[in-house]
Amino acid sequence: MKLGGYFPSDGDVKDNVGSTWFSFGPNYDIGKTKTESPVVYGAYPDGTFSSKPKDGTSFKDSLYGLGAEGRYYFGKPTEPVSFYAGGGVGAYFLYGKDKGGSQNNVHLGVKLLGRRRVQAGLPR
């Protein structure tokens, strides 16, 4: 399970629904390479949402994605502290609602991952 933030780059989006959104998503690891520093690959659904009242109107946006990702683990998996970096690519479904109506779009998106892992054993 991942928790994080989404930081939209579009100025109109930032003005209407804010510059930081809550983000969440589970991921499913399908497999890993059999090297000393494994690459773990899998699939993910994730999403983010924001809602903000402005000028008597409630602006709501949500973004849900579905895609594939990979993570490279630095160091030996038996070390108590290890690090990983990775990324993913997928389809992202955007829903927006404001005083002018609603809108649905689908876009290609990418994600970057990084984390320090503190535990012994192979990554799952």
62-74 pLDDT, tens per residue? 888 899 999 888 8
Q: How far apart are CA 122 and CA 124, in angstroms?
A: 6
The closest alpha carbon to 4, from 21, 27, 19, 16, belongs to: 21
Backbone angles phi, psi at 12, to 5 degrees: -65, -40
- Please give the structure tokens belonging to residue 17: 């629904």
pTM of the model: 0.65
pLDDT in the model for residue 54: 67
The set of residues, in sequence order, having a beta carbon less than 8 Å from that of 71 and lying 6+ positions away, is 39, 40, 41, 84, 85, 86, 113, 123
31-40 pLDDT, tens per residue? 888 777 678 8
pLDDT surpasses 80 at 76:
no
Contact of 3 with 23, CB cutoff 8 Å: yes
The set of residues, in sequence order, having a beta carbon less than 8 Å from that of 115 and lying 6+ positions away, is 83, 84
4-24 pLDDT, tens per residue? 777 777 776 666 666 677 778
Instruction: DSSP letter for 11, please.
Output: H
If you average pLDDT over residues 94-122, what whole number do you get? 77
Domain range list for the chain = 2-118
pLDDT in the model for residue 16: 63
